[in-house]
Chain A
């Protein structure tokens, strides 16, 4: 056994030195810059395309007074949910032949028209290609409801006290952390396993492998190679984390202390990241080494490794499905299944503390000095009529997957702020008539 370990160490030391002391390792360390660069470039292109492309609108055939009220209602909604997310409306004065005007507008290309709203605020009627877009119809209902009401034109005053954290923002930030952590883990593992495979093939083609195979057990060689690349990649991760922390410290106001912490805290999360990365890499690296042992040419390696890479992408998707819902059946399955477990567990560490108190939740709990109860979870908080955080509802509790509860919660919040309090939850009804494809679809 000692000889096995000593042999593995000899191989590992050689591979580690050869990897870390090479010029290529500098490029490896710079690797995270390339996705950022690519993201920036393609993001910029995407944004430019988005701004240059005319967005379809809903043409409103209405009197000037109705149009003004609708526009004012839209401005208020835009403040709440953002202009980009809201349907755009353009007013047109009514003409004697309504059907001809509708037809003309639906054929218009400047601007492209999705649908035509006629009948004013009293008898709204929507004509257009909206079959697959219930959100636009719902938005128009809210707009009309808001425009009809004079009382809601003046929104209530809500006294706002800013706190650095809330359960809602915390959950969202943690889900983002979990998602980024899983993606990094996946891509880094794939990248390193590929590098490991290349090294093995290089040695086979260099015939060095015969010298090694004659001197040490072949298993020791594989173990040595596996751990050498692990050590090199852990070194890379430490460099990346350190560099990232330094950049954030200098570039972001407040530095790293302002980063939203994952459920287990940053220190615990970083340690677990390295541990789970090691597990994931050792599992996948072993598979790739097995492929390398079977193949003798780069072409054979590519043929053999392609199904494994696809399988790994599926496993990544499986693990990613558990983000936001770690206690669901799929979340637990992803955590138990060995090949997805490291990624799922990393996401779990970001989202859900199991064995220790949640430091952020503790802080939230302490913010309520009257009862020092633990932090409220997102879906148990409600805003009362006075705008204060007053009620903790437990009925939804843990019975539904959280992403479903979030949808219900968000919809309720949107409608509550927009709808007339006298007709709470009831929007205006109008007949929707589909005209098939609009010109925006053709475009």
Chain B
């Protein structure tokens, strides 16, 4: 049963607020009580393995499908479609009319969001020139490469200068150069004041771009907060390589330390690095190398979502 009531508190600091969103497809519950708050002007990442419910959550936030239960508030509006002229959306599965010219495709996507066609064409020319695609402006989409077509669709997503940009798996299918360009474009739009929400199953992108993340697993939000906050949940990791194989210094190594290729790997003891160093030096360990690593988002993700979910993510690296 869809609740139509407003959230208890409409907070203008948030571009998107979702409370207990639920979506059932027949007997299957795809999203199970997702609650999110996306700060205005932030870059917000939705992390999770394939099938975790990211796309379904985004579709509910955009009004493409209605939730089975729960409420959502997008740019202060209960009905997301009312805010459509201020939203840009790049779906996971790209869709463009193959026979349409690149310039017209961008202008058409702007027109769908209320931008007059002549103005859309003018902006499309400028954006295409800026991205080195001016020569392709009057070529049909079917003649463009996959990367070019994705760029065209991305330009169509931001042509009307939206306040909220939603990108579903925007990096998939892009080569390293285009991924870097896309990252820069996302940062630039955020600097211009837009709120960016993007979903990904590649943690490295979220780690580089996001200020806040929500980790979704099996339709539930396992974590919602800042990236640093997520990483701070884990203690730094010490990687130690010594010349001496044994000695009194071994008492400074925690009992749960493990050996990886001749290195000791263990969490930094609560006392910090100084007592550890002193014990190693005094004990005659003969320090070859010592590194204290701050845990990455992936480790935080493993810790939060669990090993099984992390395994589903496949420890994917950016392409």
Instruction: Give the contacting residue for B84; candidates A10, A207, A209, A216; CB below 8 A.
Output: A216
Contact of A207 among B62, B63, B94, B112 (CB under 8 A): B94
Instruction: Kindly state whether residue A46 has any CB partner on chain B within 8 Å.
Output: no
A208 to B64, Cβ gap below 8 A?
A: no
User: Is A212 in contact with chain B by the CB < 8 A criterion?
Assistant: yes
Chain A residues, Cβ within 8 Å of B95? 203, 206-211
In Å, the complex CA distance between A14 and B117 comes to 11
Q: Report yes or no: A214 in contact with B64, Cβ–Cβ below 8 A.
A: yes
Interface size classification for chain A: 20 to 34
A208 lies within 8 A of B97 (CB):
yes
B91 contact from A22, A211, A216, Cβ within 8 A:
A211
Q: B253 contacts the other chain (Cβ, under 8 Å)?
A: no
Residues in B neighbouring A217, C-beta threshold 8 A: 81
Tell me whether chain B's interface is mostly helix, strand or loop, or mixed.
loop
Contact B64 A210 (CB under 8 A): yes
Chain B: minimal CB distance from A20 (Å): 12
Q: Is B93 an interface residue (CB 8 A)?
A: yes
Q: Closest CB-CB distance, B103 to chain A, in whole Å?
A: 14
Shortest Cβ gap from A25 to chain B (Å)? 12
State whether B96 touches A215 (Cβ < 8 A): no
Find out whether the CB atom of B97 lies under 8 angstroms from the CB atom of A215. no
Verify A208–B96 contact, CB threshold 8 A. yes
Does A18 reach chain B (CB closer than 8 Å)? yes
Interface digits, B63-91 against A, CB 8 Å rule (1 contact, 0 not)?
11000000000000000010010010101
B292 interface contact, C-beta 8 A? no
Bound CA–CA A203/B94 (angstroms): 11
Q: Report which residue of A210, A212, A215 has the largest number of chain B beta carbons within 10 angstroms of its beta carbon.
A: A215
**Interface residues as binary, A1-33 with B (CB distance below 8 Å gives 1, 0 otherwise):** 001001100100010001000100000000000
CB within 8 Å for A214 and B94 given contacts A6-B114, A14-B108: no
Q: How many chain B residues touch A (Cβ–Cβ < 8 Å)?
A: 24
Q: Is A213 an interface residue (CB 8 A)?
A: yes
A203: B residues at CB distance < 8 A: 95
B99 interface neighbour in A6, A18, A209, A213, Cβ under 8 Å:
A18
How far, in Å, is A128 (CB) from chain B's closest CB?
A: 67
Of residues 131 to 155 in B, which have CB atoms within 8 Å of A's CB atoms? 153
Point out the residues of chain A lying under 8 angstroms from B97, CB to CB. 14, 18, 206, 208
Interface residues of A in 167-220 (CB under 8 A from B): 203, 206-217
A6 to B115, CA, bound (A): 11
User: Once the chains bind, are A22 and B113 in contact (CB under 8 Å)?
Assistant: no
- Answer whether A216 and B112 are a contact pair too, CB < 8 Å, given A207-B93, A207-B94: yes
Taken together as a complex, chains A and B put the C-alpha atoms of A355 and B29 apart, in Å, by 62
CA distance A61 to B227 in the complex (A): 111
B-side contacts of A3, CB under 8 Å: 114
The answer for the CA separation of A213 and B64 in the assembled complex, in Å, is: 6
Inter-subunit contact B62/A214 (CB<8 Å): yes
Give the residues in chain A near B18, CB-CB below 8 Å.
none
Answer whether residue B109 sits at the interface, using C-beta atoms and an 8 A cutoff: yes
- B62 proximity list for chain A (CB < 8 A): 214
| Cβ-defined contact, B108 with A10, below 8 A | yes
Residues in B with CB closer than 8 Å to A6 are: 114
**Contacts of A195-247 to chain B: CB distance below 8 A:** 203, 206-217
Taken together as a complex, chains A and B put the C-alpha atoms of A22 and B95 apart, in Å, by 20
Q: How far is the CA of A217 from the CA of B100 in the complex (A)?
A: 22
What residue of chain B has the Cβ atom nearest to residue A207's Cβ? B95
- The distance from the CB of A203 to the nearest CB of chain B, in whole angstroms, is 8
Contact (Cβ within 8 A) B108 A215: no
Listed by A's residue number, 11 A-B pairs whose Cβ atoms lie within 8 Å are: A10-B111, A10-B112, A18-B97, A18-B99, A203-B95, A208-B97, A209-B95, A211-B89, A211-B95, A214-B62, A214-B64
